[in-house]
Chain A
Amino acid sequence: MRNLLIGLILIGVIHPLYAGVVEHRLDNGMKVIVKQDKRAPIAVSQVWYKVGSSYEYGGITGISHVLEHMMFKGTEQRAPGEFSRIIAANGGEENAFTGQDYTAYYQTLASDRLEVAFELESDRMRNLRLLEDEFVKEVAVVMEERRMRTEDKPQALAYELFQSGAYQTSPYRQPIIGWMADLENLQAEDLRVWYRKWYAPNNATLVVVGDVDPQQVIELAERHFGALRAESIAFNNPTLEPPQRGVKRFTLKTPARQPYMIMGYKAPALTTDVSGWEPYALEMLTYILDGGSSARLASELIRGQELAVSLDTSYNAFSRLPGMLVFDAVPRPGVELGQIETAIREQLDRFKNELVKPDELERVRNQIVAAKVFQRDSVFYQAMLIGRLETVGLDWHLADEYVEHLKAVTAEQIREVARKYLVEDNLTVTVLEPLPMDGTIASQGAAEGGRHVR
Chain B
Amino acid sequence: MSARILIRGMVLLIGAVWVAGACASPRIERWETPNGARVLFVHAPEIPMLDVRLVFDAGSARDGDKPGVTSFTNSLLEQGAGEWNAYQVAERLEGVGAQLEVGSLRDMAWVAVRTLTEPQALTTAQDTLSAVVAEPRFDPEDLSRERQAILAGLTEDEQSPGSVGRKQLYRLVFGDHPYASDPSGNRESVEAITREDIIKTHERLYVANNAVVAIVGDVSRSEAEAIADQVTRGLPAGQTPPPLPEVASLDKPVERRIAFPSTQSHLYMGQPGMKRGDPDYFPLYVGNHILGGSGLVSILSEEVREKRGLSYSVYSYFLPMRQNGIFQLGLQTKNDQAQQALQVVRETLQRFIDEGPDEQELVAAKQNITGGFPMRIASNSDIVQYLAVIGFYDLPLDYLDTFVDRVRAVTREQIRDAFRRRLDPGHMVFVQVGQITELASSDESLAGK
Contact A13 B94 (CB under 8 A): no
Picked from B1, B7, B96, B378, the residue with its CB within 8 Å of the CB of A159 is B1
CA separation between A68 and B445, bound complex, in Å?
Answer: 42
Interface check A21, CB cutoff 8 A: no
B263 CB → nearest A CB, Å: 5
Segment at the interface with B among A232-240, A245-253, A325-333, A393-401: A325-333
Picked from B87, B161, B261, B309, the residue with its CB within 8 Å of the CB of A138 is B309
A-B contact count (CB 8 A): 289
- Which positions 33-76 of chain B face chain A at CB distance < 8 Å? 46-49
Contact A440 B435 (CB under 8 A): yes
Interface check B377, CB cutoff 8 A: yes
Picked from B95, B258, B264, B333, the residue with its CB within 8 Å of the CB of A452 is B258
Q: Mark A277-313, 1 if CB is under 8 A from B, else 0.
A: 0000000000000011111001100110010011010
Interface check A367, CB cutoff 8 A: yes
Interface check B367, CB cutoff 8 A: yes
Segment at the interface with B among A122-130, A348-356, A442-450: A442-450
CA separation between A258 and B156, bound complex, in Å?
Answer: 6
CA separation between A298 and B88, bound complex, in Å?
Answer: 12
Known: A95-B11, A294-B94, A370-B98. A144 touches B334 (CB 8 A): yes
Segment at the interface with B among A78-86, A216-224, A267-275, A406-414: A78-86
A285 CB → nearest B CB, Å: 16
Contact A88 B368 (CB under 8 A): yes
A68: B residues at CB distance < 8 A: 6, 8
Interface check B175, CB cutoff 8 A: no
Contact B8 A72 (CB under 8 A): yes
Which residue of A is nearest B302, CB measured? A81
Interface check B252, CB cutoff 8 A: no
B402: A residues at CB distance < 8 A: none
Contact A303 B445 (CB under 8 A): no
B159: A residues at CB distance < 8 A: 154, 255-258, 434, 437
Contact B378 A136 (CB under 8 A): no
CA separation between A93 and B3, bound complex, in Å?
Answer: 21
Interface check B220, CB cutoff 8 A: no
CA separation between A258 and B375, bound complex, in Å?
Answer: 40
Contact B155 A72 (CB under 8 A): no
Interface check A376, CB cutoff 8 A: yes
- Which positions 294-322 of chain B face chain A at CB distance < 8 Å? 294-297, 302, 305-313
A149 CB → nearest B CB, Å: 7
Interface check A45, CB cutoff 8 A: no
Interface check A339, CB cutoff 8 A: no
Interface check A357, CB cutoff 8 A: no
- Which positions 331-366 of chain B face chain A at CB distance < 8 Å? 332-334, 364
Interface check B118, CB cutoff 8 A: yes
Picked from B4, B89, B149, B369, the residue with its CB within 8 Å of the CB of A99 is B4
Segment at the interface with B among A34-42, A184-192, A194-202: A34-42
CA separation between A138 and B311, bound complex, in Å?
Answer: 10
A9: B residues at CB distance < 8 A: 118, 120
Known: A81-B297, A89-B364. A110 touches B308 (CB 8 A): no
A286 CB → nearest B CB, Å: 13
A42: B residues at CB distance < 8 A: 374-375, 378
B239: A residues at CB distance < 8 A: none
How many chain-A residues does the 8 Å CB contact rule pick out?
112
Interface check A156, CB cutoff 8 A: yes
B250: A residues at CB distance < 8 A: none
Contact A136 B47 (CB under 8 A): no
Contact A91 B373 (CB under 8 A): yes
Which residue of A is nearest B448, CB measured? A454
A438: B residues at CB distance < 8 A: 261
CA separation between A88 and B435, bound complex, in Å?
Answer: 37
Interface check B421, CB cutoff 8 A: no
CA separation between A299 and B333, bound complex, in Å?
Answer: 42
Picked from B7, B9, B91, B332, the residue with its CB within 8 Å of the CB of A148 is B332
Interface check A174, CB cutoff 8 A: no
Contact B263 A152 (CB under 8 A): yes
Contact B437 A446 (CB under 8 A): yes
B108 CB → nearest A CB, Å: 22
Interface check B381, CB cutoff 8 A: yes
Contact B258 A298 (CB under 8 A): no
Q: Mark A55-92, 1 if CB is under 8 A from B, else 0.
A: 00000000001001100100000001100110011111
Interface check B222, CB cutoff 8 A: no
B7: A residues at CB distance < 8 A: 95-97
CA separation between A102 and B270, bound complex, in Å?
Answer: 39
A94 CB → nearest B CB, Å: 9
Contact B97 A366 (CB under 8 A): yes
Interface check B121, CB cutoff 8 A: yes
Which residue of A is nearest B23, CB measured? A41
A18 CB → nearest B CB, Å: 14
Interface check B114, CB cutoff 8 A: yes
Contact A39 B257 (CB under 8 A): no
Picked from A95, A156, A371, the residue with its CB within 8 Å of the CB of B97 is A371
Q: Mark B207-248, 1 if CB is under 8 A from A, else 0.
A: 000000000000000000000000000000000000000000
Picked from A137, A150, A363, A376, the residue with its CB within 8 Å of the CB of B47 is A376
Known: A110-B371, A377-B47. A100 touches B364 (CB 8 A): no
CA separation between A177 and B296, bound complex, in Å?
Answer: 19
CA separation between A150 and B332, bound complex, in Å?
Answer: 13
CA separation between A152 and B163, bound complex, in Å?
Answer: 12
Interface check A6, CB cutoff 8 A: yes
B294: A residues at CB distance < 8 A: 88
Closest 3 pairs (CB-CB, A-B): A91-B371, A370-B97, A137-B309
Q: List 13 A-B contacts (CB under 8 A).
A: A81-B297, A90-B371, A99-B6, A149-B6, A292-B90, A309-B149, A314-B1, A332-B148, A362-B95, A374-B49, A439-B435, A441-B263, A446-B435
A-B contacts besides A89-B371, A448-B436, 17 pairs, CB < 8 Å: A10-B97, A88-B367, A93-B375, A98-B6, A110-B375, A137-B309, A138-B309, A140-B309, A142-B312, A148-B264, A159-B1, A176-B6, A312-B1, A363-B91, A370-B116, A437-B261, A448-B437
